[in-house]
Structure 1
Amino acid sequence: MSNKSDPDKNLQPPLSNSTSSLKGVRVLVARPHEQGAALTAHLNSLGADALQFPTITIEPVSASNTKQYATLKDCFLNLDHYHHIIAVSTHAAHYGLQWIDQYWPQLPLDIKWYAVGEKTARTLLEADIVATASQKGYDSESLLNLSELAILTDQRVLILRGAGGRELIKEQLELRGAKVDYADLYQRNCPQYTVSEINEALITFSPDILIALSGETLHNLVKISQNKDIALKNTTVITDKAVIVPSERVADQARRLGFSSIWVPKGLHKQALVDCITSNYFL
């Protein structure tokens, strides 16, 4: 069994042929590096002035982290003990597949696979794993509404995720009778920027729109903008900008942080984000 390609490659629907549909719009993309690079390039191809400014980094667990590495090894050596496996993100799917490749030339039978969001499901499908994802949403709540996960008495579930993620899925599945384990495959960290880098992104570039597709990405962006040495404090504040967030849950977080212009797209693929900008910015 092998992971055939990068998790963020060729996962989006066909995009608009227009080269100027976003002309004049300045967009700051706060996504992790690989995802942000692809989105930034696409926005620029549509005429936007887009700048990549990741406010979250993804770092897989390494062998130097002895305890966590040993826990992961145990999970994947015993993969056949699980009835259900859930990947909560494309990163979780990508790194989980790498671990599986180390120990399972062929996947164990009779495991049911699930994905939070269609994009994560497509990442698994590229490795010939058919995963069930909700057709009604791309968050944990949507996954939990699947009928396949309604009754899990004495069933074992493995959740592939980043360390310190939301506890909702585990808590709810345990209430339904499951025994749930985590495979914490990566760490999410806030990058360290110099004052000049922050000023370049937030003052000199002066974005019209921010793209922050997770709560942690959004919180890190605000935290970075509050650096006491940057010029932003003398001009405007980051919360005056329009921000694109992935869900109403994160939209609520944005409101609590002080944002007032908050847009939630109909999906998280590139075309949905472009549509969100065009339908809101060019009103």
Structure 2
Amino acid sequence: MLFINTRPQTRAENLSHALRMAQVEVLDLPLLELVARPWSNTLSELYQRLPSTQLIVVVSPTAVEIGMDYLTKASLSLEAIQHIQWIAVGEATAQALALYGIVAKVPLVETSEGMLQLPILQALSAGTCIAFWRGEGGRLFMMDRLQQQGIDVLNFILYQRRCPVLTEQKIPHLLAKLAQEKQYYMVVSSEASWINWIDLVRAGDEVVAKGHYLVLGERLYQVVSDYKKNHQACFNITRLSDLKTDSILQQIAVV
């Protein structure tokens, strides 16, 4: 069995180690890397509005790291925003916030849809101000839904996503290997990762068709399902509710 771990390098280690301990062949192939956006007047203005915010939604450990660095650059202290409630998209993000003494609420399902089910978000009234610490292109669905409810959204784009150069260099070797495989398994954690994978294999239908894709959440499941339908492709998809190592191992055992 071949498993392609597409998680960013810093978040892939636990899963890759657990799989190898279970005698599974693992190829580490991160499909995204996150690069900080330069400090700008736009970010400076957003940070000056932060003390009037009621909630901060943080979408990744990277958003925590960059967000806190820029908080210092904006000459703001955590004490100045201690009245704000925090929401983390998942446990890893909550743990990153905990290093700063912040207790964050975490959804049961680590997706935008799961976050929208949090009682604290469902109880918001129009005019409430929420800040999003996020990357370029991430969580647009959630922000749109809240804005439709009359919520004032402060959009902190702290980093951008790109396909790692090293991954692009590995693709010719990987494609040669996949040509010899009957099937492979791959975890897909975001729409951007899926798009990068399709671009990397250059719409190679035979390569894509050999995959069994473990995808995070209902919305990404629909994105991959739509690709399958539109391209008349034949591959398997399994929906994940979170990206915890134990959850992924359980799904692998099932399939």
Q: Which of 83, 86, 96 in structure 1 is aligned with 2:67?
A: 96
Query: Measured at CA, do residues 109 and 191 of structure 1 come closer, stay the same or move farther in structure 2, by a change above 3 Å?
Result: closer
Structure 2: runs of 5 or more not aligned: 229-233
Q: Is contact 2:184–2:210 with CA below 8 Å preserved after alignment?
A: no
Letter paired with 1:100: L
In the alignment, is residue 210 of structure 1 matched against residue 186 of structure 2? yes
Match of 2:42 in 1: 71
Structure 2 match to 1:156: 129
Counterpart among 217, 223, 243 of residue 247 in structure 1: 217
1:239–1:257 CA contact under 8 A, matched in 2 = no
| Cα separation, 2, equivalents of 1:146 and 1:266 | 15
Q: After the TM superposition, which residues 1-283 of structure 1 pair with which residues of structure 2 at under 5 Å, given as runs?
A: 25-63=1-39, 69-102=40-73, 103-107=75-79, 108-135=81-108, 137-150=109-122, 151-192=124-165, 197-204=170-177, 206=181, 208-226=184-202, 236-258=206-228, 260-280=235-255
Cα distance, 1:165 vs structure 2: 2.2
In the alignment, structure 1 segments of 5+ residues that lack a partner are: 1-24, 64-68
Aligned to 1:6: none
Higher helix share: 2
Q: How far apart, CA to CA, are the structure 1 residues paired with 2:167 and 2:107? A: 41
For residues 77-133 of structure 1, give each alpha carbon's deviation from its aligned partner in whole angstroms, at most 9, with x where no partner exists: 442121111112232223222222443343323111112233322321232111112
SS in 2 for 1:131: coil
Moved more, 203-212 or 53-62: 203-212
- Kept after mapping to 1: 8 A contact 2:30/2:167: no
Contact 1:53–1:201 (CA under 8 A) maintained in structure 2: no
Q: Using the alignment, how far apart are the partners of 1:223 and 1:61 within structure 2?
A: 24
**266 and 247 in structure 1: CA distance in 2 versus 1, 3 angstrom threshold:** closer
Distance 1:165 1:267, change over 3 A: closer
**Aligned residue identity for 1:148:** I
**TM (normalized to structure 2)?**
0.85
Q: Quickly say closer, same or farther: Cα 1:199–1:185, change in 2 above 3 A.
A: same
Q: Is the 8 A contact 1:160 1:183 kept in 2?
A: yes
- Code of the residue aligned with 1:209 in structure 2: it is Y
Counterparts of 2:242 and 2:77, CA distance in 1: 34
CA distance in 2, matches of 1:46, 1:59: 33
Say which SS state the counterpart of residue 164 (structure 2) adopts.
Answer: coil
SS of residue matched to 1:27: strand
Counterpart residue type for residue 161 of structure 2: R
Between 194-203 and 151-160, report the one with greater CA deviation. Answer: 194-203
CA distance in 2, matches of 1:218, 1:160: 22
* DSSP-derived class of the 2:251 partner: helix
The normalised TM-score by structure 1 is: 0.77
- State the AA in 2 paired with 1:277: I
Q: Residue 175 of structure 2 contacts residue 207 of structure 2 at CA under 8 Å; is this kept in 1? A: no
